[in-house]
Amino acid sequence: MKILIIKLSALGDIVHALPALHVLKDSAPDLEIDWFSYQAFAPLLSEQKAISKLITLKDRKISSLLRITKILRSGKYDLAIDMQGLIKTASLAKMSGAPVLGFAQPREAAAALLYDHSVDLGVWNSNETHVIDKNILLANYALRNILDMNSKNGELESRDDAHNIDKQSGREYRSLSGSGFDGRGVSKAITGSDDQNISNLKLHRNNIKYGLITDESQSASHIQKPAPREICLLPATTWESKLWPSEYWVELAQRLHQKYKSNIHIVCSPTDAAIVQPLLAQLKEACIPINFHQDFKLMQLPSFFRSMDLIVGVDTGPLHIAAATVDAASTRILGIYGPTSPKRSGPYGFASVSAEDLFEHKPMNKRKLSEDTSMRTILPELVLARILDSKTAIL
């Protein structure tokens, strides 16, 4: 059987979809799983042994889309899973000619009109649930209720007790509310009724597989020192509203350096260098020695992150690569969140400090600083206190 996963971007979103990939492959080793993404993320996905074929889209030109449509149709997939939830990705999934599975409440509501099967997560659809957990639920639904072979004719069929039919559209949907959904990979995630605390959904981090740790990066694991000698800061991100003020980073770096005499590292991509330059200038003026890294390739990041004692970053792709690859016993991670919720998209299994938790600021998910200035409310002393708080075991 062949399935297609569509997750075009962005870096952090792709990292968050990888555990679902491995739930599918580990549960059904004979599955052929192809993945469709933008070409920029090929270095990350080409290392995934669970992926049979990586299909990439270089640009948004009509000629490129026509070429991709032919490739998708030639795949003759038994199922296409839209993990992006956009009209664009739902349309691409539909172009494959396969039945399409997605969330009943996708990011763009109209995308659901293109799904043949949709999963209503019920209470677990809130921002209290991490997107990794949601993706795993989607994968488990596919395993339990769609990827069942009819022994007579070899065609896909849904289990009789697994689906409901929408009266208006005639499409199948599934509600997980109170279902005791206990497929492989989430056996401890969903038990009992919807009234149980949402934290029961959280998977123990050791059950999650990302497939990003190579032999090289595995060997880079270390024993955490009493004081964090190697500290990495991740200040760059694509959303203006997610940026933490440069002067805050300077104060945090200064206080960490003074307290621990640490080596401070700043990591960003070449495209984000312009965002970081003002910060580097301020750090230089404050006489704080900095190791600046802007030339790492994607698959060099795991090894580097595993050599760090502490990683502090905003909601950005590299932060999620760090959370997916470091050993929690030797490296600590702290995310800084304002316009987005760490409950939904924080560094999985690690700590965060957020305007939501500190000030009950409702995440607005707005990209522009003029629309959400909540990052300015998270002062450096609040972040430092979170790092030093013995109860949170950051350090």
- Residue 270: exposure state from Cβ atoms within 10 A (0-12, 13-18, ≥19): exposed
Indicate whether 395 belongs to any domain: no
157 shares its domain with 240: no
181 shares its domain with 280: no
Q: What is the pLDDT of residue 322?
A: 97
8 shares its domain with 148: yes
Confidence of residue 225 (pLDDT cuts 50, 70, 90): low
* pLDDT tens, residue by residue, 227-271: 678 999 999 999 999 999 999 999 999 999 999 889 999 999 988
Confidence of residue 381 (pLDDT cuts 50, 70, 90): very high
189 Cβ partners below 8 Å, 6+ apart? 133, 136, 137, 181, 182, 200, 201, 202, 203
Residue 19: CATH number of its domain = 3.40.50.2000
Domain range spanning residue 265?
215-388
219 shares its domain with 293: yes
Indicate whether 346 belongs to any domain: yes
CA 208 to chain CA centroid, nearest Å: 12
Alpha helices in the chain (DSSP H): 11-27, 42-45, 62-74, 87-95, 131-141, 215-218, 246-260, 273-285, 301-305, 317-325, 342-345, 355-359, 380-388
* pLDDT tens, residue by residue, 44-71: 999 999 999 999 998 877 788 888 999 9
Average pLDDT over residues 272-293: 91
Average pLDDT over residues 304-311: 95
106 shares its domain with 237: no
* pLDDT tens, residue by residue, 5-49: 999 999 999 999 999 999 999 999 999 999 999 999 999 999 999
Count of domains observed in the chain = 2
42 shares its domain with 104: yes
Angle of helix 380-388 relative to helix 246-260, nearest 10 degrees? 40
* pLDDT tens, residue by residue, 172-188: 444 444 333 333 222 22
Judge contact between 317 and 268, C-beta under 8 A. Answer: no
134 shares its domain with 220: no
Among 207, 231, 254, the domain boundary falls at: 207
73 shares its domain with 144: yes
221 shares its domain with 188: no
Among 176, 207, 238, the domain boundary falls at: 207
173 shares its domain with 263: no
16 shares its domain with 129: yes
Angle of helix 273-285 relative to helix 246-260, nearest 10 degrees? 50
